[in-house]
Amino acid sequence: MSRNSYSVENQEQKALLESVRVSAMCKVTAFDSAAMTVDVQPLSKVLDGGVYRTPPPVLGVPIAMIRGGGFFLRPWYKAGDVGIIVYADHDIDRIAEAGKECRPNTERNHGEEDAFFVGAFVPKSNPISGVPDEALVLSTEGGGVYIAVCKDKVKIKGNVEVEGTVQEV
């Protein structure tokens, strides 16, 4: 290893890069369906003074959803679900409020306050099962109830309740 790798500049740059947060795998501890936020506990311990410590929870994190064209896909989370929080590059307060381009409220970068949650990480210890392969599936855990859009048909498993009328084509 060269002497340069131990230079003050390299050590400062390393410390700076270690302080930038990009994302963290987390476990949901609470879900607010009205606000569409979660409280999460980061799962990776952080090195602090030579000791690995559990980081503090991150509270009230907005949930990233699929939404557009007048449609949305709303997830429903429960304690123990695993996902990832992504720390935005800049303060997102005004964007979260207005939903449009604006100046950041502060000069904050990669702050906890600017995280959003993306769920649906599937740990190897809890694989998806009980649903058709090669299909777009909306399902309960274990496949007790599902709607599956396959290449040649739509499969529905479970009781079906219709509000409105059913029309045959």
Q: What is the pLDDT of residues 68-107, one digit of tens each?
A: 888 888 889 999 999 999 988 777 776 777 777 877 777 7
**pLDDT in the model for residue 159:** 96
The pTM assigned to this predicted structure is 0.73
**pLDDT in the model for residue 43:** 95
Given the structure tokens 């890069």, which residue do they identify? 17
Question: In this structure, what DSSP letter does residue 34 have?
Answer: T
Q: How far is Cα 103 from Cα 147, in angstroms, rounded to an integer?
A: 42
Strand partners, 116: 86
The per-residue pLDDT for range 43-58, each reduced to its tens digit, is: 999 888 889 999 999 9
* Strand, helix or coil for residue 112: helix
Q: How far is Cα 70 from Cα 48, in angstroms, rounded to an integer?
A: 46
The per-residue pLDDT for range 101-152, each reduced to its tens digit, is: 877 777 777 677 778 899 877 778 888 889 998 898 999 988 999 999 999 9
Superfamily for domain range 21-125: Gp5 N-terminal domain (2.40.50.230)
Burial of 112 (0-12, 13-18, 19+ CB in 10 A): middle
Residues 96, 101, 103, 109: is their CA dihedral positive or negative?
positive
Domain segments of the chain as ranges: 21-125, 128-158
- CB atoms under 10 Å from CB of 114, counted, come to 24
Structure tokens at 111: 């702050």
